[in-house]
Amino acid sequence: MAHVRLNGLSKSYGKVDVIKDVSLDIEDGEFVVLIGPSGCGKSTLLRMIAGLESISAGTLEIGGAAMNDVPPRDRGISMVFQSYALYPHMSSADNMSFSLRLAGEEEAQRRSKVDRAADILGLGPYLDRLPRQLSGGQRQRVAMGRAIVRKPEVFLFDEPLSNLDAKLRVKMRAELKELHQKLRTTTIYVTHDQVEAMTLADRIVVLRDGEIEQIGTPLELYDNPANAFVGAFLGSPTMNLLELEVGAGEATLARFADGEALRLATPAAPGRTTVGIRPEAFTIASEAAAGRISAEVVVVEPTGAATELLVRKGGQAITVLTPERLAVRPGDTVWLTPDAQRTRVFAGGAADAA
């Protein structure tokens, strides 16, 4: 096990900078998720850590040793690929023990290590099968087994669940978390799925255009996004980004076009401003009262556990999520009480949101 230290890492292809001066400290045993929209460089960054891409500038340390020019095999890492990359001509057992075979380990020792990994992953009955005889989830597990068997210092995952169907993805996600709790190996995990990021990570690193937007625990990022981009990227349904007007002399009130106001947690500068508020930060009422704002219902989406409402307010769409089962219909008027403590003012505006 080891900590991983990225110090001003950069990567450029010719004149195009894909990764720009990324610094990040990953503690021993930590589960860090790199997340961002496609093309943000998260996979490239992971491949630089793996040694599959060269590093243009900056230093990479794993377990205190500089790794910039060390070949992948000597970095003490294991990687699980999005495509699994199982050797098609080898059985599951051979796939998992290939690295041990290359390292010259004894047959008996290899066997026992593979058996132990197969035990953890429930792969026992499939050890003699070829990859093409396995289902997607089983292949995924063999790929993880191959990574575990080497007892690496660091696990690298490159969107490992994105090829699975929705149900299996949720199941494997839980297994992955359990696995990490069992093994406590430093893990760097790339995904574009914010639910995966929220559920798996000790800390999330949000990347955009090759730069870090924000680092923090899932809830820190959820509650206190540094900018509209992070706010909109994490959470489903996504955070409401409202374009409101803050008048002179009333710095904690942001007004809609129709004049009704939203109370802010922090004072904002006068003028047009972007206010972020989570869909679940509203309570819904059917009558007007002080502090409530009116809105027209556009769409009602009951999901069983909750109801998602799309409402229109002063020309802007607002998503509202409530655990209640509502008897409202499109065209009805509802009154919302926004939780002032959960509003965020984004000085950068919403233009740069995802």
Partner 1 sequence: MTHATDTHTALTAPRRRRFTASERQVSVIRHLVLMSFALVVLFPFFWIVSAAFKTQIDLLMGKVLFTPNLDGFLDVIFDKTSDFARNFANSMVIGLISTFLVLVIATLAAFSLYRLQWPAWVLHSLLGWSVIFHMVPPITLAGAWFTMFRSVGLDNSYTGIILAHTTLHLPMALWMMGVFVRDVPKELVEAAQIDGAKVPQILWHVVLPIVRPGLAATGILTFIFSWNEFPVVLVLSQRQTATVPLGIGKYAQENTIAFTEMAAASTLSILPAFLLLLFAQRFIVRGLTSGAVK
Chain residues that interact with partner 1, rule: CB under 8 A: 50-52, 71-73, 77-79, 81, 83-89, 98-99, 102-103, 130-134, 139, 146, 150, 163
Q: Min. distance of Cβ 75 from partner 1 in angstroms? A: 8
Of 79 and 242, which CB lies nearer to partner 1 in the complex structure?
A: 79
Q: Min. distance of Cβ 155 from partner 1 in angstroms? A: 11
User: What span, in angstroms and rounded, lies between the C-alpha atoms of 21 and 16?
Assistant: 13
User: What span, in angstroms and rounded, lies between the C-alpha atoms of 72 and 52?
Assistant: 7
SS3 sequence, 197-237?
Answer: HHHHCCEEEEEECCEEEEEECHHHHHHCCCCHHHHHHCCCC
Q: Residue 192 in contact with residue 35, Cβ under 8 Å?
A: yes
Of 78 and 191, which CB lies nearer to partner 1 in the complex structure?
A: 78
Q: How far is CA 326 from CA 286, 306, 332, 338, 353, in A?
A: 10, 9, 12, 18, 30
Of 52 and 340, which CB lies nearer to partner 1 in the complex structure?
A: 52
Of 101 and 325, which CB lies nearer to partner 1 in the complex structure?
A: 101
Q: Min. distance of Cβ 326 from partner 1 in angstroms? A: 41
* 125 φ, ψ (degrees, to nearest 5): -70, -10
Q: Min. distance of Cβ 255 from partner 1 in angstroms? A: 52
Of 86 and 212, which CB lies nearer to partner 1 in the complex structure?
A: 86
Of 79 and 295, which CB lies nearer to partner 1 in the complex structure?
A: 79
* CA quadruple 224, 228, 232, 237: dihedral sign: positive
Q: What is the DSSP letter of 177?
A: H
Q: Min. distance of Cβ 84 from partner 1 in angstroms? A: 6
Element (H, E) at 112: helix 107-121
Helix, strand counts (H, E) of the chain? 8, 20
Q: Min. distance of Cβ 72 from partner 1 in angstroms? A: 5
